[in-house]
Amino acid sequence: MLGRHDIRRTLCYYLIMSFIPSYKALYESGELLERVDALNNRLKRCNVCPRNCAVDRTAGRRGFCRVGGKAVVSSFAPHFGEEAVLSGTGGSGTIFMSYCNAVCAFCQNYEISQLGEGRREVETEELSEMMIELQRMGCHNINFVTPSHQVPQIVAALPGAVELGLEIPLVYNTNSYDTVATLALLEGIFDIYLPDLKYSDDMMAMTFSKTPSYVAISRAAVVEMHRQVGDLEVDERGIAERGMIVRHLVLPDDIAGTDDLLDFIADELSPDTYLNIMDQYRPSYMSAGKESLYPELGRPITDEEFDRAVTSARSRGITRLAHINP
């Protein structure tokens, strides 16, 4: 006799089966393997991300991101702290990619993004198996956290995962410091884009994240993501199937330039954008402690600062706000 847990898992399986991820068609047509080759070519004089380091990562050389030709993973597990449309009841299947192409002074995951905690190189087959294991655990999606500098390695593992039975959406969880050329090769691979729009001022972006030309680069990237997948679509359970979720972390004293970012979202993307205005900023990494290098970031945001950001979004017609009641 099936137990309650078995019945629930079986029902979830059949609900998932009604959704066919876009990468299946690419795999069946043979185009997915062509994308793998095209992305691997970008590693040879690396221009995978906006850093354009031009080193041959296929030969094991490393540029700004400190990652060579193999994927480097910190950890993988179901995660229940993402947006409800991603986490649902089964969790979002997060794969934390080690290191990053930005250096955010306040990064709350700096042990992974900067120090490479838990890092280890993994073979393509092992990365494929991680996706399958997360699916077997009942996760609603496979969520690649900080993928921008490891896109070729991620996509190279996808054909093997499909052959093993992968059939849930892929999530591209990014700081938005991405190139349009690389993103164009991801069309039809990622059904869900999860970009974090951090700043509306290049000086702030350079000061606090060491990302030159962040505003133009991130906005062009997010426009391309939206072109590919559109606004967020959810299934009958309220779980994301396809589309874009934008995150924006409110910073003290409006360092992020929230209003200008909201104008961009409403005018250049869509007022129907699913937006997570995040209130969890706290001093961390280089912004924390008495000897902080960035005293401007030395305090949490106030309730008033967060409420102002929410009010500002609603005044622009942006009402699909995660975690916030209508």
pLDDT of residue 11: 42
pLDDT of residue 324: 62
Tens-digit pLDDT profile for residues 91-118: 999 999 999 999 999 999 999 999 988 8
| Interstrand relation of 92-97 and 142-145 (parallel, antiparallel or unpaired) | parallel
> Rounded distance, CA 27 to CA 16, Å?
19
Query: In 10 A of CB 260, how many CB atoms?
Result: 14
By C-alpha distance, which of 15, 2, 24 is closest to 89?
15
pLDDT of residue 13: 47
Q: Is 162 strand, coil or helix?
A: helix
Both tokens of 277, joined, read: 């205005």
Tell the residue number behind the tokens 């974090």, with chain if given. 196
Tell the residue number behind the tokens 């699913």, with chain if given. 274
Domain boundaries, the chain: 21-257
By C-alpha distance, which of 90, 76, 84, 83 is closest to 8?
90
Integer angstrom CA distances of residue 94 from 15, 36, 316: 21, 22, 32
> Rounded distance, CA 255 to CA 160, Å?
43
Please provide the DSSP assignment of 38-60 as one string.
Answer: HHHHHHHTT-SSTT-----GGGT
- For 266-303, letters b (16+ CB in 10 Å) and e give beebbeebbbbbbbebebbbbbbeeebebeebeeebee
Report residues of the chain scoring pLDDT below 70: 1-17, 324-326
Q: Of all residues in the chain, what percent are helix, strand and coil, respectively (each to 5)?
A: 40, 15, 40
By C-alpha distance, which of 241, 162, 172, 256 is closest to 209?
256
Q: What is the crossing angle of helices 151-163 and 31-44, to 10°? A: 150
Q: CB neighbours of 100 closer than 8 A, spacing ≥ 6?
A: 65, 107, 113, 114, 146, 148, 149, 175
pLDDT of residue 19: 82
Q: Is 312 strand, coil or helix?
A: helix
CATH of domain 21-257: 3.20.20
> Rounded distance, CA 170 to CA 193, Å?
8
- The reported pTM is 0.92
